Structure 1
Amino acid sequence: GGGLPSCNYLVKQLKNFRDGKRKSDTMNEMAKDLKDDQIEALADYFSSKPALTHRVRDKGFAAVGEYLFKKGNRYSGIPACKSCHGEFGQGTDELPRLAGQHKRYVADQLQAFGERARTNDNAIMHTIASKLTEMEIEALALYVSGIKEETKEEQ
């Protein structure tokens, strides 16, 4: 991979789709014939793309998600999302970028982790997601969908 945040993560996910370790009718079918070098090229390409930012209409509800993202919920034992996924949700080489991800996708993945329906990368995320209420899941998903990717001019 190119060493960009989330590049190795994307390589792993595409290989998991190809090998059936992560289930998705669409993605399993699309990835089934990919060779490792094609997967690495796709991961390099997609990890180099800037995050899209979605418009957040309900700022108050998104603020609940922002609080959870930045501080967690000490009452239910949920750590801050930023402690693993980065201050601005930019991801790491091993963890996905959350900034700008579509809110429905994020909510669906959190629910899948909580229910152990997601078949890969479940150990840590199940422990966290299973403690999230439906309201917290929806607020987090809304917040991360609107995170703007940091640029040098903004820093």
Structure 2
Amino acid sequence: MRRLALAFLALAAAAAAAQDIEAGRAKAQVCAACHGADGNGVPGMPEVPFLAGQTWRYLYVQLRDFKEGRRTSPVMTPMAQPLSRDDMIAVANFYAAQTLKPQAFQVDEAKAKLGKAKAEETLCTMCHLGGFLGQNEIPRVAGQNYQYVVAQLKAFKDRTRTNDAGNMTSVARTLSEQDIENLGHYLAGLR
């Protein structure tokens, strides 16, 4: 009897998760114009992040920060304004459930090698984990859009993005422009 009850609970949880993902798909339709229907981006928009396979918690926090003004963007801030907490969670869960696909970016292997060395030196995996898959409120950066990575590292370095409790800001301030470019090549090339 206990096994049957546990099986029923697991089935109910799976059905609820599927409903959440479908609710997120509906809410994310407007996001598809820039992020793609499955979070793998839109050709010709290299500055826009890939959302597929990102941690749901990170996506939720970023939407909340855009809505509440802790992070600003002329595009994302107004997009986040009408979203409720449940909307943000649904959208985040939808994109987290998608699979990040290999991208067409041509990695410069020499720069990627230098980026890997810099990532090891600055202990990036302490937060982003091995494989750079992210955790909780720490984003997945493996396979991320090169131009987005570079832009965000520069924003942290310049302190124009500060919604990170200071962690990325303190790391980014130690990076040279070449380090940032190399890290972009390394992270974009991870699969």
Q: Which residue of structure 2 aligns with residue 8 of structure 1?
A: 57
**2:157, 2:173 within 8 Å by CA — same for their partners in 1?**
yes
Q: 1:29 offset after TM fit, Å? A: 1.0
Q: Which has the higher helix share?
A: 2
Distance 1:94 1:119 in 2: 14
112, 121, 132: which is aligned to 1:62?
A: 112
Q: Which letter maps to 1:12?
A: V
137, 146, 150: which is aligned to 1:103?
A: 146
Unpaired runs of 5+ in structure 1?
A: 73-78, 149-155
Q: Which residue of structure 1 aligns with residue 190 of structure 2?
A: 147
Distance 1:140 1:131 in 2: 13
Q: Which residue of structure 2 aligns with residue 151 of structure 1?
A: none
Q: Which letter maps to 1:42?
A: V
Larger Rg: 2
**1:116, 1:122 within 8 Å by CA — same for their partners in 2?**
no
Q: How many residues align structurally?
A: 139
Q: 1:80 offset after TM fit, Å? A: 1.8
Aligned-residue Cα RMSD (Å) equals: 1.6
In the TM superposition, what are the counterparts of 1:66-77 in structure 2 within 5 Å?
66-69=116-119, 71-72=120-121
Identity %: 35
Structure having greater relative contact order (Cα 8 Å, sep ≥ 6): 1
Q: Which residue of structure 2 aligns with residue 133 of structure 1?
A: 176
State the TM-score, normalizing by the size of structure 2.
0.68
State the TM-score, normalizing by the size of structure 1.
0.83
Unpaired runs of 5+ in structure 2?
A: 1-16, 18-52
Q: 1:5 offset after TM fit, Å? A: 6.5
**1:5, 1:97 within 8 Å by CA — same for their partners in 2?**
yes
